[in-house]
Amino acid sequence: MRSKPSTRFKTAIYEQIAHIGKATASAGRLELLDLLSQGPRTVEALAVQIGQSLANTSHHLQVLRRARLVDAEKAGVHVTYRLADPQVATFFLHLRTLAESRLADIERVTREYLEGRGALEAVGNDELLRRVRASEVIVIDVRPHEEYVAGHIPGAISLPLSVLRSGLGDLPKDRDVVAYCRGPYCVMALDAVDILRRKGFRAHRMEHGILEWRARGWRVEIGSGRQAGARS
């Protein structure tokens, strides 16, 4: 029996939408979208970040590109990827939020990990956000500097985790320090807080990253901004 034109129309639309679902049905590709939400990166840098081979990373990126979720630009021998549209970052955040609300294991796994590290914050995230926005604390961005340049919380100091110890002399010990990275499941801020507390700082981890900050409609700064060791 031949289907009706209206049925064929709806099927064609849903098949197109399904391309997005198929492209994101991979933990590795979701992690790539998360990373690219921080800013453009080369294939080589992305492969290191997700701990996969260059070939596997390139394959994942090609799948995302065919679904028109990412764009690529070649310069010499390097290919740099970026999100195709700001809506892709919004989609990723909404997908993650939906998963958090429907899948109890996300909260359980997160709590077990944080408890295992002794990293459950005494200060709630909303209170930290208030203090950050009121400039009551020193804010450090511990992501790689290129991510900071692509977009950071206003007033934050760029102090990548890889050079954190060498930049501690520029941080005052008489004020609370709040570290942030790529959001609630990024461990760089946890590692930074561990280092800071061992050195005698009153340090806290903020769950929000730049993706969550933008989602609230708050201003984001772009550019080199402030770096530890540089005088403003």
- 8 Å CB contact between 178 and 137: yes
The pair of three-digit structure tokens given for residue 2, joined into one six-digit string:
């031949």
Closest CA to 20 of 87, 66, 75: 66
Residue 29 one-letter amino acid? R
Q: Which two tokens stand for residue 88?
A: 């892709």
**How far is residue 223's CA from residue 218's CA, in Å, rounded to a whole number?**
17
**DSSP code of residue 223:** S
Given 23, 69, 93, 181, which residue is catalytic? 181
Q: Catalytic: 186? A: no
DSSP for 115-170, written as a single string: HHHT---SS-HHHHHHHHHTT-SEEEE-S-HHHHHH-B-TT-EE--GGGHHHHGGG
Residues with a known catalytic role: 181
